Chain A
Amino acid sequence: MDFRGRLAFTTDSYVVSPIFFPGGDIGKLAVCGTVNDLSMAGAKPLYLSLSFIIEEGLPLSELSQIVDSIQKTAEGAGVEIVTGDTKVVNRGSADKLFINTAGVGVIPKGVDISGNNARPGDKVILSGTIGDHGIAVLSKREGLSFSTKLESDCAPLNGLVEDMLKASSNIHCLRDPTRGGLATTLNEFAEQSKVGIRIEEDRIPIREEVLGACEMLGLDPVYIANEGKLIAIVAAEDAEKILEAMQANRYGKDASIIGEVTAENPGRVVMKTCLGASRIVDMLVGDPLPRIC
């Protein structure tokens, strides 16, 4: 094992409800989320720790299912879970199961990926369809029941990032648009790099089911969480090469160049609408709530 390079270290906690959702569960989410945090820094994820806080009364069969899912996901991602802990708390003190993770990886020499690195002229690439995870989870919530074949896109992206880095080292920024969706992550980049980002609504890949659910509930897909997608800001001259590499990977087959970085409107994200007009896409505040008006 070559440990030359910088160490990357991350931690996160997972409290998703319901703990089983179409396409995944809290265990799969925990492994993928941690692997992806490391990957977004350009690190090769190596080792994870995993701690359970279990609410008294959680059926053993459910816990077992989640542990199996964790093992399968970790194997698929090529990471090892090397240490862990379990605590049981009284009924009512946790919502079925909470999971905390920490993850360690190595950023190879020469890789410098950071939210500060976006430059005017760079291209913005989105790895696939948005909103799948958020809508899949929402479809199971009480009071909002609608049925859909939609599944969470929860996936480990380390393989995809490796393929991208093989195609080019000119990847300036990487991030997975989880809570707050595409809009929030783009705003973070714009703020951190002090640049403007201009995207085109027509180029954002969205599944019809996500559009349908969003229309029904009055939600905006750009704010819905994703758990298996990434946004890359890359040097314009290598954009096509990187896009091709992404589309050849199973987790990037719907990848699309959705916009570019500009010097105008620093700190802001602007979207070209179907009318050719522009609107600001702001950061999400709070949780996206379905509306009737």
Chain B
Amino acid sequence: MCLAIPALIKSIDGKEADAEIGGVTRRISLWLTPEAKVGDYVLIHTGYAINVLDKEEAEETLKLFEEIAAFDEVEG
């Protein structure tokens, strides 16, 4: 549940960071994701990063969808 969206960490200041989504920037807290680095995408929920997005898994999932779509075209 709970709305959480991927945002890019632009800069880190102690336990806080500036994260950007679609050109909009917001100060967020990294208390729950101390391992986050600049350049990571994090899931932001109510101003807190709740997880670091796994970019490789994201690409894998999209690749899987593309394979399914390609197979679907063949199947007609």
Contact = CB atoms under 8 A, between A and B. Distances in A.
A208 B7 CA distance: 13
A208 B26 contact: no
Given A216-B5, A293-B2, A148 B21 contact: no
Q: Interface SS of chain B: helix, strand, loop or mixed? A: strand
Interface string B1-40: 1110101000000000000111111110000000000000
B45 A147 contact: no
Contact of B25 (A146, A211, A293): A146
A293 B2 CA distance: 4
A213 interface: yes
A211 B25 CA distance: 13
Interface in A197-211: 207-211
Interface residues of B, number: 16
A57 interface: no
A148 B3 contact: no
Contacts of B27: 145
Contacts of B22: 208-213, 215
B46 interface: yes
B26 A216 contact: yes
Given A212-B21, A216-B44, A292 B3 contact: yes
A218 B5 CA distance: 10
Contacts of B23: 148-150, 207-209, 212
B3 A147 contact: no
Contacts of B46: 292
Given A292-B45, A292-B46, A148 B1 contact: no
Nearest to B25: A147
Interface in A103-161: 139, 145-150
B3 A212 contact: no
Interface in A253-293: 291-293
B3 A150 contact: no
Given A212-B21, A292-B45, A218 B3 contact: yes
Contacts of A210: 22
A276 to B, nearest CB: 14
A216 B27 CA distance: 12
A212 B2 contact: no
A215 B45 CA distance: 11
A205 to B, nearest CB: 14
A255 B5 CA distance: 29
A207 B2 CA distance: 24
A148 B5 CA distance: 17
Which residue, of A146, A150, A293, has the highest number of chain B Cβ atoms within 10 A?
A146
Contacts of A213: 22, 24
Interface string A220-258: 000000000000000000000000000000000000000
B25 A216 contact: no
Contacts of B26: 145-147, 216
Given A212-B24, A215-B5, 6 more contacts: A148-B23, A148-B24, A150-B24, A208-B22, A292-B2, A293-B3
23 contacts: A146-B24, A147-B25, A148-B23, A148-B25, A149-B23, A150-B24, A207-B23, A208-B22, A208-B23, A209-B24, A211-B22, A212-B23, A215-B5, A215-B21, A215-B22, A216-B5, A216-B7, A216-B26, A218-B3, A292-B3, A293-B1, A293-B2, A293-B3
